[in-house]
Amino acid sequence: MTDAAAPTTRQLDTVEVATGTPERELPWSELGLKADEYDRIREILGRRPTGAELAMYSVMWSEHCSYKSSKVHLKKFGELSQETPRGRTLAGIGENAGVIDIGQGYAVTFKVESHNHPSYVEPYQGAATGVGGIVRDILAMGARPVAVMDPLRFGPLDAEDTARVLPGIVAGVGGYGNCLGLPNIGGEVVFDETYLGNPLVNALCVGVLRHEDLHLAHATGVGNKVVLYGARTGGDGIGGVSVLASETFDADGPAKRPSVQVGDPFMEKLLIECTLELFRAGVVNGIQDLGGAGLSCATSELASAGDGGMHVELDTVPLRDSSLSPEEILMSESQERMMAVVEPAHLDGFMAICEKWDVEAVVVGEVTDTGRLVIDWHGETVVDVPPRSVAHDGPTYERPYARPDWQDALQADVAEALARPATGDELRTQLLDVLASPNQADKSWVTDQYDRYVQGNTVMSQPDDGGVVRIDPETNLGVAVATDCNGRFAKLDPYAGAQLALAEAYRNVAVTGGEPLAVTDCLNFGSPEDPAVMWQFEQATHGLKDGCAELGIPVTGGNVSFYNQTGDVAILPTPVVGVLGVVDDVRLRVRSGFAAADEHVLLLGETREELSGSAWAGVVHDHLGGMPPAIDLAAEKALGALLRAAIEAGLLTSAHDLSDGGLAIALAESVIRNGVGAHVELDDPFVELFSESASRAVVTVREDQHEAFMTLAEQHGVVVSSIGRTGGDALEVAGSFSVPAAELEQRWRATLPAVLGHTIPGAIGTTAVQG
């Protein structure tokens, strides 16, 4: 409003004013609320909301915070048994992150979240604050963060917008995570045209705690103090609320706030150390991080999970910008802030620790038993609501869903019918083309920008299949984590695609020697208002739930990201699955490269003629159609048990899972890793190299352990094919072709630097080979 007649002094919209002016129009629609939602708010309050209340409801009832479109489908994860193979989960869905018992008094917590849209708008800060947010979730459980992983998805490597978003996102992930001192132990980098304009930035964090240190987000104990600590509150991340500000206030007031948050990893590092010391000192009753929806979320969630009431004096919140209105303070998504509930007797101790770490801390309120969340602004009440109605009673939608009419045609267009290479030379060329394609090529351009060594406990990281960190240097207990999703499979059949993602992550944990215990998921989809997308979502969640039930591992938490689409084109359905496992002795780790000559190369699992959705079909024929590989979770479980038993018995010299690109890529990567070649004999080289049948791995075994391994495999009911021997300096497929290891490596390494530029001039890959 630039109208000269506009009021020049702001009128505070208090509860009293709202009661007295029932007919005043508020910009509920501009804040994203539907008419029936606004009516419900009026019904809950028995009057119109104040501007501040409207701000809180609108942000807490948004898709992002309320899961209003997904809730009915996510509910089924709650039906899964909360038993892991190592005992009952200590905290599950509904907390900031799930907590799993791994024995020896240790528990781990892990979760993956999306920060897709902010990363498209502002790649560096979007990605950076994505890391920051998930780290605070883990911290809020009382855990020390010990590792991060970042599944990333972009448009085609050579697309103009990829050149804009990829370097910024990678630098943001690195810039923030490196500065926190958290090793980045893996993740994914995937390219597909549907991600152009919709890059996916998912961030996973793992934390460790002792059982007794578990902290939950509860505000209990009437009279206990509510302390806000960490960074000051600024105008970042406010987004939509500026509409409210401009409607309510004068033209000279704050407006047009940046809607992407700006991160300060140094503050977050202080917050981590400070918070862990607060836990150790026993001065924290309940705690909550401030992420999406900022203070609106923290106050309403803490209050509704506790004794039911909280009184906050909002004008005590430390500000970076003194002109912020109460509505903006409530909605600000300024990073690096936490809220704690502290007993009065512990307050001095709490403040002393914050001071030691130069972290600003202020008492902003206290716990009450009124059943109301009351927020005052300079003595006048601007919010008076039942906290549960804000935090948990948001709308629930049963969005219509329907199998899209194109699904049948897509599934009928099978890749098995595509032209196959006619000669050994052609097969050789296709293998190199698939190996050098952006999705299979070396990713060290990305991962070299992440610190994988800090904390000194990284046992495995890229390019191994899963990340492994040591938890206890005395007992060598560790955890393994992997994230996976093949969106092409999920497009062909979302139910099977979700299960294939689960199976792959499960396998990648097993291949490190870990026993899979629990699942976190990041469900990235298009618009929930499109029945076809909603069908994909329904199918994927259903598949994931059924898969977890069969594997006997619970889903302990995760995140949904909708509206990843441009116009009518949605992204490939991308249910990213993270699996966490326990490794009883990390010293037994087995890596993915061939280790020495004259060892047996064994293919575990059954290979069928399954080429639809494969990397071969995509790279060689630009084709996506047919049915994804068959899924047999009993076989997956058996394979996992065999890998674990063989690693524990010290029978394997290398192990690599088979996934995108099938045996071809697994063999090529195994040769490249240490420059140890292999000679293999295959009945039908093309099918055996490029089929992407699930539940398979390639391992190497020394001659003197061959018999023992074969016996073990038989006991586990896993089919073993002896396909050849290691040795030489080339990958040789008998009767078909041979490629020198150096040529494989050159093609594999050249792709990303050729488009993104060399970070170190003249340096071709001295980095991916660790140890």
Partner 1 sequence: MKIGVVTFPGSLDDVDAQRAVRLAGAEPVALWHGDHDLKGVDAVILPGGFSYGDYLRCGAIARFAPVMTEVVEGANKGMPVLGICNGFQILCESHLLPGALIRNDHRTFVCRDQELVVENAGTAWTRAYEQGQQITVPLKNGEGGFVADAETLDRLEGEGRVVVRYVGANPNGSLRDIAGVTNERGNVVGLMPHPEHAVEDLCGPGTDGLGFFASAVQALAAV
Binding site for partner 1 (CB under 8 A): 171, 174-175, 178-181, 264-267, 269-270, 357-358, 447-459, 470, 473, 586-587, 589, 758-763, 766-767, 769-771
By CB atoms closer than 10 A (0-12, 13-18, 19+), residue 205 is buried
Q: How far is the CB of 584 from partner 1 (least distance, A)?
A: 15
The position carrying tokens 């549907």 is: 194
- Our measurement of the distance from residue 149's CA atom to the centroid of its chain's CA atoms, rounded to an integer in Å, reads 8
DSSP element (H, E) containing 527 = none
Measure the CA–CA gap between 501 and 522, rounded to whole angstroms: 11
Nearer to partner 1 (CB atom), residue 53 or residue 745: 745
Measure the CA–CA gap between 123 and 120, rounded to whole angstroms: 6
Nearer to partner 1 (CB atom), residue 596 or residue 760: 760
Measure the CA–CA gap between 198 and 220, rounded to whole angstroms: 41
Angle between helices 265-281 and 347-356 (to 10 degrees): 140
What pairing do the DSSP bridges indicate for beta strands 200-210 and 144-154? antiparallel
Q: How far is the CB of 356 from partner 1 (least distance, A)?
A: 8
Q: Is residue 64 annotated as part of the catalytic site, yes or no?
A: yes
Measure the CA–CA gap between 261 and 238, rounded to whole angstroms: 8
Nearer to partner 1 (CB atom), residue 184 or residue 439: 184
Backbone torsion region of residue 495, taken as left when φ is above 0, otherwise alpha when ψ lies between -120 and 50, otherwise beta: alpha
Q: How far is the CB of 711 from partner 1 (least distance, A)?
A: 29
Q: How far is the CB of 13 from partner 1 (least distance, A)?
A: 38
Inter-residue contact 367 to 307 (CB < 8 Å): yes
Token readout for 388 is 């549960």
Q: How far is the CB of 178 from partner 1 (least distance, A)?
A: 6
- Our measurement of the distance from residue 94's CA atom to the centroid of its chain's CA atoms, rounded to an integer in Å, reads 16
Q: Is residue 115 annotated as part of the catalytic site, yes or no?
A: yes
- Whole-angstrom CA distances from 762 to 675, 745, 754, 768 are 20, 15, 12, 15
Q: Mapping DSSP to helix (H, G, I), strand (E, B) and coil, where does residue 67 land?
A: coil
Q: How far is the CB of 68 from partner 1 (least distance, A)?
A: 38
Q: How far is the CB of 589 from partner 1 (least distance, A)?
A: 8
Nearer to partner 1 (CB atom), residue 469 or residue 523: 469
Inter-residue contact 481 to 149 (CB < 8 Å): yes
Nearer to partner 1 (CB atom), residue 458 or residue 700: 458
Inter-residue contact 216 to 99 (CB < 8 Å): no
In the 8-state DSSP scheme, what is residue 629? P
What pairing do the DSSP bridges indicate for beta strands 184-191 and 144-154? parallel
Measured between its terminal Cα atoms, the distance across the chain in Å is: 63
Measure the CA–CA gap between 692 and 1, rounded to whole angstroms: 60
Amino acid identity, residue 741? Answer: A
Task: Given the residues 73, 115, 346, 623, select the one marked as catalytic.
Answer: 115
Amino acid identity, residue 206? Answer: V
Nearer to partner 1 (CB atom), residue 259 or residue 767: 767
Nearer to partner 1 (CB atom), residue 54 or residue 353: 353
DSSP E strand boundaries for 115-269: 144-154, 184-191, 200-210, 225-230
Token readout for 606 is 């059954």
Q: How far is the CB of 600 from partner 1 (least distance, A)?
A: 25
- CB 218: neighbour CB atoms within 10 A? 19
Measure the CA–CA gap between 635 and 642, rounded to whole angstroms: 10
Nearer to partner 1 (CB atom), residue 245 or residue 271: 271
Nearer to partner 1 (CB atom), residue 143 or residue 383: 143
In the 8-state DSSP scheme, what is residue 380? E
Angle at 418 between CA 417 and CA 424, to 5 degrees: 120
In the 8-state DSSP scheme, what is residue 649? T
Token readout for 698 is 């390639």
Residue in 353, 359, 203 with CA at minimum distance from that of residue 266: 359
Inter-residue contact 651 to 712 (CB < 8 Å): yes
Nearer to partner 1 (CB atom), residue 455 or residue 738: 455
Nearer to partner 1 (CB atom), residue 136 or residue 545: 136
- Catalytically active residues, by annotation: 64, 115
